[in-house]
Amino acid sequence: MIDPIAATIGLGGIALLYLSKGSMQEQLRKRPFPVRLWASLPMLKRPALIVALALVASAGVVMTR
C-alpha cells in the first residue's frame, strides 16, 4: 500500500525543488555579505543565560523526581 498523503507531500516537495532550482542557482552565485562574528558575540549573552537556566531547571526537575 502507498500512503497517498505522504506521496502527495513528497511529490510536492520534488516539484517545489524543480521549480525553484533556477532561482536558487542565481542566488548561490551572488557574493555573500561579510559576517562579523566577533561583533555579534556580546548579543548572545542573554540567550546563553536563558539556555543555561533552562538546563539547570530541567536537571533540577529530573533530580527531584
Domain boundaries, the chain: 1-31
Residue 65: the pLDDT is 82
Can you tell me the distance from the alpha carbon of 29 to that of 58, in angstroms, rounded to the nearest whole number?
44
Q: For the segment 17-51, what is each residue's pLDDT rounded down to a tens digit? A: 999 999 999 988 988 888 776 777 778 888 999 99
Can you tell me the distance from the alpha carbon of 47 to that of 53, in angstroms, rounded to the nearest whole number?
10
Residue 34: the pLDDT is 81
Reading the block at residue 4, the C-alpha cell is: 497517498
The phi and psi torsions of 36 (rounded to 5 degrees) equal -95, 95
What does R_g of the chain's alpha carbons equal in angstroms? 22
Question: Would you say residue 60 has pLDDT above 90?
Answer: yes
User: For residue 35, is it left (φ>0), alpha (ψ between -120 and 50) or beta?
Assistant: beta
Residue 53: the pLDDT is 97
Model confidence, pTM: 0.43
